[in-house]
Amino acid sequence: MKRTLVIGWDGAPYDRISKWVKDGKLKNLGNLVNRGSFGPLRTTELTISSCAWTTMVTGKNAGKHGVFDFFGTKFVNDSYFREPIDSRWRRADALWNYMTKNGYRIGVVNVPITYPVDKVKGFMVGGMMSPSVDAPRFTYPADLLKDYPRLKEYRIDIEGAKHLDRDKFIYEVHKTIDERFELFKYLIKKEDVDLFFGVFTSSDRFSHYMWHFFDPAHPYRKNESEEEIRKYENSLLELYQQLDVYLGELIEEFGADNVMVVSDHGFASIYKYFEFNKWLYQKGYLKFKPKSERSEFKHGKLNPKRTYIYGKVDWGSTVAYMIGKRGSVYINLEGREPQGIVKKEEYEDVVEELIKEIKKIKDPETGEYIVEDALPRDAIFSGPYVEEAPDILTFFKDKYASIGYIVDLESEDLFIVNDRPDLELELGIERYSGIFVASGSDYRHRHLEDAWIGDVTPTLLYSYGIELTEDMDGKVLDIFNEDFEPPRRIYLSKREKGVIARLKKMKL
Ligand SMILES: [Zn+2]
C-alpha cells in the first residue's frame, strides 16, 4: 500500500516561500516543487488557525464543521467572555475518521484543535489547546507515548515570553520545533501507517512577534537597534530552512511515495490597530457603565495597559460588540447573549445598518477607507452551524487590524500605531495564502493557481479511493498523473470482516 506524508507548516506564506524556492534556498521543498504540483493555498475567510486547519481536515466550510475561532458560543458565568473550544466543537468527520472507516491506518500529530483525540485506526497526538501531555485523551491509544524517552521535553505550544524576552522566545520556538520533529520521527519508526499527518505550529507563533524584522517599513522597527535588525532579518528564512531539513529527513524516514506540504494561511504586517469597540461606543452601539460601577476583568495574566471591556460595558443597553483582531462583530441578541437586547425581528436591520457604517470607517491620517468589505455571516458560510459564526465579518485593508480591548478610554483616538512595546501587540497577522505542494508517484508536475484549503482532504481521500460525501465544499485537485487510478475501496462490512477472520483461522 502506498504511503503518504503530509507535513503542515503553520502560517507559511506563499509569497515568501515561492521566492525562496525559486532562489534555491529551500532544498527539499524545492525538489518537491520541481517534480510535483505547487501553488498558493487560499485560506478561510476567518484566517484563524483553528478555523483554517479544521476546514483543511474536513474539506468543509466552517458553517458545516462549527469551528470558527479559538472560542465557541458558551459564555463563562454569564460574563461576555467565551469558553475556549476543543475538538468536540468540530462537528464534521475529519480526514482520519474517513481513513479509519475505510480500513486505512493513519497517524495524526499536532493538528490544531484535535484534543481530545479521536479513536482511529493508527494513532493520534493532540495539538494546540491540549491541556498537557498527561491529559487523558491527549493520545490515542492512551499508552502511545508511555515509552517515549523525550516526553518531558515535548511542548504542545510555546508559552508566554514573546517579543519582550526575545532570546527566551526564540529558544522556545526552536526547542518546540526540534521536539516536534523528534516525536514525528519516533512515531514514524514505531508505528506503520498509510498516511502520516504532522503539523509544525511554531512558525505561526514566531511570525506573530517577529514580523517587523521581515518588513523594512514596519513601524515597530524603530524599537530595534541596527544590530538587532541584522541579527534577525533572516530569521524567518532560517526557521523555514530548519523545517526544510526536517522535511527531508521525515520523507526519508517514512519512505513516502507521496508527499504534501501545506499551510493554513500566510502572514502580513500590522501597521495600525483600530479600536473597534471604542468606535462602536462613539457610534452609540456600545455603552459603558458609569465609572463607579466599572470593574476589572480578571482572566489569567493580563497586560495592565489594556482596558478589557468585559467588566466595563453596560451590556443591558449595548447593541453590538467586537472580538479579536479581524473585526468579528457580534450583535447583542436577545435569548443568545447573556443580557441580549436586540430582538430577533430587528436583527437583520441592525446588521445591515452596521455594515454600512463599518464600510465608512476612514483613517484620519490618510483619509482612506480601512475596510475592504464587511459581510453578514450567511454571505460567507453555509451549513447547520452558521448561526455560531460572528454576525458580521470585517475584511480590513492591508496593514490594518482591529483590537478588542481599549487602550485609552478617555481619548477619542481610534487608531494605535503598532510601535508600542508596552502593549505587547502582535506585529504580524494571519493573511493571504498559505502553500500547497504535492509531489510523488500519484501526482504530476504543474503550477496550481486556484487551490483552496478545503481541497486538501478531498484530494487525499480520492488518492486512497475513498468516496467523497456530497456535502463537502472542497474538490479533488487536478494534480494526478494521467494514468492514476484510485485504489479499490478497501472498506469491509462487518460480515466481510467475519469471513476473512474465519478464513485466517483456517490458515488458508
Ligand atoms: Zn495558523
101 Cα–ligand 1 center, Å: 28
505 Cα–ligand 1 center, Å: 49
d(Cα 192, Cα 253) in Å, to the nearest integer?
12
Q: Which residues of 113-124 are buried (b: 16+ CB within 10 A; e: fewer)?
A: bbbbbbebebbb
Please check whether residues 253 and 305 belong to one and the same domain: no
436 Cα–ligand 1 center, Å: 14
- Distances in Å between the Cα of 446 and the Cα atoms of 25, 31, 177, 198, 480 are 20, 13, 30, 25, 10
Q: What are phi and psi of 443, to 5 degrees?
A: -105, 150
- Burial of 77 (C-beta count, 10 Å sphere; 0-12/13-18/19+): exposed
Residues with CB under 5 Å of ion ligand 1 are 10-11, 49, 204, 264
Task: Give the pLDDT confidence score for residue 410 in this predicted structure.
Answer: 86
Residue 362 contacts residue 370 (beta carbons within 8 Å)? yes
Please check whether residues 348 and 249 belong to one and the same domain: no
Please check whether residues 245 and 316 belong to one and the same domain: no
d(Cα 236, Cα 398) in Å, to the nearest integer?
20
3 Cα–ligand 1 center, Å: 26
430 Cα–ligand 1 center, Å: 7
Task: Give the pLDDT confidence score for residue 310 in this predicted structure.
Answer: 87
Please check whether residues 183 and 38 belong to one and the same domain: yes
Q: Which three cell numbers stand for residue 130?
A: 491540549
Please check whether residues 260 and 302 belong to one and the same domain: no
The residue among 160, 177, 166, 153 whose CA lies nearest residue 12 is 177
190 Cα–ligand 1 center, Å: 28
Residue 374 contacts residue 348 (beta carbons within 8 Å)? no
CA gyration radius, the chain: 24
Task: Give the pLDDT confidence score for residue 487 in this predicted structure.
Answer: 87
- The cell 517514512 sits on which residue? 254
Residue 263 contacts residue 240 (beta carbons within 8 Å)? no
Residue 64 lies in a domain: no
pLDDT in tens, 158-183: 865 555 588 888 899 999 999 999 99
Residue 76 lies in a domain: no
Please check whether residues 304 and 221 belong to one and the same domain: no
d(Cα 212, Cα 418) in Å, to the nearest integer?
10
Please check whether residues 294 and 392 belong to one and the same domain: yes
- Distances in Å between the Cα of 366 and the Cα atoms of 1, 220, 427 are 60, 19, 21
Residue 83 lies in a domain: no
129 Cα–ligand 1 center, Å: 13
Please check whether residues 247 and 138 belong to one and the same domain: yes
187 Cα–ligand 1 center, Å: 24
Q: Which three cell numbers stand for residue 274?
A: 483600530
d(Cα 313, Cα 292) in Å, to the nearest integer?
12
Alpha helix segments (H runs only) across 263-365: 276-282, 344-359
331 Cα–ligand 1 center, Å: 27
d(Cα 454, Cα 446) in Å, to the nearest integer?
19
Residue 108 lies in a domain: yes
232 Cα–ligand 1 center, Å: 21
33 Cα–ligand 1 center, Å: 22
Task: Give the pLDDT confidence score for residue 136 in this predicted structure.
Answer: 92
431 Cα–ligand 1 center, Å: 10
pTM of the model: 0.94
Please check whether residues 290 and 174 belong to one and the same domain: no
Task: Give the pLDDT confidence score for residue 298 in this predicted structure.
Answer: 76
Task: Give the pLDDT confidence score for residue 72 in this predicted structure.
Answer: 95
487 Cα–ligand 1 center, Å: 33
Q: Three-state secondary structure along 148-198?
A: CCCHHHCCCCCCCCHHHHHHHHHHHHHHHHHHHHHHHHHHHHHCCCCEEEE
Task: Give the pLDDT confidence score for residue 491 in this predicted structure.
Answer: 54
Residue 56 contacts residue 50 (beta carbons within 8 Å)? no
What does the pLDDT profile of the chain (508 residues) look like in tens digits? 799 999 999 999 999 999 999 999 999 999 999 999 999 999 999 999 999 999 999 999 999 999 999 999 999 988 899 999 999 999 999 999 999 999 999 999 999 999 999 999 999 999 999 999 999 999 999 999 999 999 999 999 886 555 558 888 889 999 999 999 999 999 999 999 999 999 999 999 999 999 999 999 999 999 999 999 999 999 999 999 999 999 999 999 999 999 999 999 999 999 999 999 999 999 999 999 998 899 888 777 778 788 888 889 999 999 999 999 999 999 999 999 999 999 999 999 999 999 999 999 999 999 999 999 999 999 999 999 999 999 999 999 999 999 988 888 889 999 999 999 999 899 999 999 999 999 999 999 999 999 999 999 999 999 999 989 999 999 999 999 999 988 876 555 566 667 667 777 775 5
Task: Give the pLDDT confidence score for residue 77 in this predicted structure.
Answer: 84
- DSSP per-residue codes, 202-267: HHHHHHHHHGGGG-TT-GGGGGS-HHHHHHHTTHHHHHHHHHHHHHHHHHHHHT-SEEEEE-S-EE
**Among 427, 458, 488, residue at a domain's last position:** 427
253 Cα–ligand 1 center, Å: 26
Q: What is the DSSP letter of 85?
A: P
116 Cα–ligand 1 center, Å: 20
- Burial of 493 (C-beta count, 10 Å sphere; 0-12/13-18/19+): exposed
Task: Give the pLDDT confidence score for residue 307 in this predicted structure.
Answer: 83
110 Cα–ligand 1 center, Å: 12
82 Cα–ligand 1 center, Å: 21
Residue 77 lies in a domain: no
57 Cα–ligand 1 center, Å: 14
CA 359 remoteness from chain centre: 26
**Among 399, 427, 455, residue at a domain's last position:** 427
Task: Give the pLDDT confidence score for residue 183 in this predicted structure.
Answer: 98
Residue 477 lies in a domain: no
- Burial of 84 (C-beta count, 10 Å sphere; 0-12/13-18/19+): middle
**Among 442, 474, 493, residue at a domain's last position:** 442
The residue among 187, 182, 79, 67 whose CA lies nearest residue 128 is 67
Q: Which three cell numbers stand for residue 224?
A: 530595534
Q: Which three cell numbers stand for residue 309?
A: 471591556
Q: Can you give the residue range of the structural domain that contains 160?
A: 4-45+94-265+432-442
302 Cα–ligand 1 center, Å: 23
11 Cα–ligand 1 center, Å: 5
The residue among 503, 12, 48, 65 whose CA lies nearest residue 242 is 12
Residue 475 lies in a domain: no
Please check whether residues 239 and 122 belong to one and the same domain: yes
Task: Give the pLDDT confidence score for residue 160 in this predicted structure.
Answer: 57
Specify the CATH number for the domain of residue 247.
Answer: 3.40.720
Please check whether residues 302 and 391 belong to one and the same domain: yes
Please check whether residues 26 and 147 belong to one and the same domain: yes
Task: Give the pLDDT confidence score for residue 425 in this predicted structure.
Answer: 92
Task: Give the pLDDT confidence score for residue 85 in this predicted structure.
Answer: 95
- Distances in Å between the Cα of 118 and the Cα atoms of 88, 97, 191 are 10, 8, 17
The residue among 485, 381, 475, 388 whose CA lies nearest residue 442 is 485
336 Cα–ligand 1 center, Å: 29
212 Cα–ligand 1 center, Å: 18
- Distances in Å between the Cα of 216 and the Cα atoms of 18, 229, 271, 370, 459 are 20, 9, 12, 22, 38
Residue 488 lies in a domain: no
d(Cα 92, Cα 115) in Å, to the nearest integer?
15
Q: What is the DSSP letter of 285?
A: S
Provide the number of structural domains found in the chain. 2
